Amino acid sequence: MAIEMKVPAVGESITEVTVATWNKKEGDVVKLDEVLCELESDKATFELPAEAEGVLHIVAKEGDVLPIGAVICTIEVKGAQSSAAPAPAIESAAPTAPVAASAPVSSADAKVIEVKVPPVGESISEVTVSVWNKKSGDSVALDEVLCELESDKATFELPAESAGILQIVADSGAVVPIGGVLATITVGAGAVQASAPAASAPAAAAPSAPVANASYAAGHPSPAAAKILDEKGISPAQVAGSGVGGRITKEDAQNAQASSSAAAPTAASTVAAAPSAPTNNDARALRREKMSSLRKTVARRLVAVKNETAMLTTFNEVDMKPVMDLRGKYKDKFKEKHGVGLGFMSFFTKAVCVALKEFPSVNAKIDGDEIVFHDFCDISIAVSAPKGLVVPVIRNAENLSLAGIESEVVRLAGKARDNKLSLEEMSGGTFTITNGGVFGSMMSTPIINAPQVAILGMHNIVERPVVVEGQIVIRPMMYLALSYDHRIIDGRESVSFLVRVKQLLEDPARLLLDI
């Protein structure tokens, strides 16, 4: 009996995942709850445990992007016992034993494996069988290329999922949908015959198996470590793993910076010492890097928001002197009492929460033909992390004090930098605040974080001459930008919301008095 392992539901707004790393190989015997592979979404990396004990058959390869509910692999429950059959087959493959003697055993244990079209791309629904490299009745080995498949975007090879006898179902030129059957492989006589050549050196094969199993984790990076090494341009072979079985952890990859930089002068000096290696100071190099899963997902979603929403941006400016004076007066006592610094984010979050209560449509979302209003304020804060932009959520921010908000900001930002944010900590926000001012941005038009309908952009604080009570004075000014979905937020509401935030920041006492 084969059990299909499917992509589980992993988050509220996550519709697809990427297969990052397989911890097991095709045909391996797996145990219940043993980790099969690691899956990546645009928000987190998580493990997929086995739902039963049996023989693993991989459907989705590393790097494949799968929708929620798609089949990743199958587990053949009855195959767990038959997987031990090759051992006695090796003994029976002695020169004095005829090959035909294995036929009764293989026919009794024979099973048929369907070779299906694997998922090959997000928008590809069918493929064309280009050419078969094998004929019906041929014996095939594990991972041997059976045929070439063509889609409207690329041509790729289909390897055999098991050793056995091939029977072709779809001929060359046939158009087959994703998941359609291309051929069958009868595992039995063909599998025994395929294993016969290995019997010539049984003594050598026996000790090599444990070594292969032991060396699988050694030098193999985790998904997070692999991305860090790719960004640094360091090969996993150059990094010593400190994880279980020698696996390369994220910390190993982060610490590999020093070794790679140390090796660079040595390599450079070697090249410089070689008399035959000319130097060219005018050479212009090109460098290509594969786009990360997070970056691809962020790009796709931002474009979708631009195309699917009626997004507009309104601007205003706020005099930050009252907030800065208040911080300057109490920041030392605030930190001494609460253990965190008094920053601008807590004032902005508090002001936003007050304004969201007065303008509930800014704190809503669209669900089909309905508008869903939130009676709470889960404020998302955009944080720049090593993997890219992430948006953790401060839950029930309207009930938190300034110290509580600052503590959450510090906690979430720290976890973002360490790539330790959970799915729960990045899901379910109702409104987003992004601060481009920390990078020096004077003005921007932030893009809405779907399914939310509005986002507030903070910018840098610049001293500018302004008129106050008929006098020209120098004040620390900041531009604010509110991008909103015009489908449910009118211009009056958006402008009034931003003006309300401005009033609360220019008179912080209103936050304390709730007026």
Taking residues 38-67, report their average pLDDT: 84
Handedness of CA 10, 12, 15, 18 (dihedral sign): negative
Q: Which two tokens stand for residue 358?
A: 């007065």
Q: Which residues pair with 367 in a beta bridge?
A: 370
The pLDDT confidence band at residue 416, using thresholds 50, 70 and 90, is: confident
Cβ atoms of 350 and 433 within 8 Å: the answer is no
* 198-205, Cβ contacts within 8 angstroms, sequence gap of 24 or more: 198/90, 199/89, 199/90, 199/93, 199/94, 202/90, 202/91, 205/90
The one catalytic residue in 319, 378, 486, 514 is 486
- Between the CA atoms of 379, 385, 388 and 389, what dihedral angle is there, to the nearest 10 degrees? 20
From CA 188, how far away is CA 111, in angstroms rounded?
A: 7
Q: What is the CA radius of gyration of the chain?
A: 30
Q: Per DSSP, which regions of 252-326 are E strands?
A: 311-319
From CA 114, how far away is CA 182, in angstroms rounded?
A: 8
In 418-507, alpha helices (H) = 491-506
| Strand-strand pairing, 379-381 and 393-394 | antiparallel
DSSP line for 14-38: --EEEEEEESS-TT-EE-TT-EEEE
Taking residues 19-39, report their average pLDDT: 87
- Residue 301: the pLDDT is 81
CA atoms within 13 A on the CB side of 339: 5
Query: Is 485 noted as a catalytic residue in this protein?
Result: no
From CA 74, how far away is CA 56, in angstroms rounded?
A: 6
Q: DSSP letter at 300?
A: H
Q: What percent of the chain has pLDDT over 90?
A: 32
- Residue 262: the pLDDT is 43
Cβ atoms of 72 and 66 within 8 Å: the answer is yes
Q: DSSP letter at 248?
A: B
Query: Is 332 noted as a catalytic residue in this protein?
Result: no
The one catalytic residue in 171, 220, 490, 514 is 490
Of 69-73, 259-263, 453-457, which range is least confident?
259-263
Query: Is the pLDDT at 375 greater than 90, yes or no?
Result: yes
Of 44-58, 61-75, 277-291, which range is least confident?
277-291
Q: DSSP letter at 273?
A: H
- Residue 322: the pLDDT is 94
What domains appear along the chain, each with residue ranges and CATH number?
A: 1-84 (2.40.50.100), 223-269 (4.10.320), 293-513 (3.30.559.10)
Cβ atoms of 409 and 401 within 8 Å: the answer is no
CA distances from 182 to 93, 162, 170 (A): 32, 14, 5
- Residue 43: the pLDDT is 66
Of 18-27, 171-180, 192-201, 477-486, which range is least confident?
192-201
Q: Give the model confidence (pLDDT) of 103-134 as tens digits.
A: 444 445 578 888 998 876 544 677 788 788 89
Taking residues 473-502, report their average pLDDT: 95
Query: Is the pLDDT at 326 greater than 80, yes or no?
Result: yes
Q: What is the mean pLDDT of the chain?
A: 79
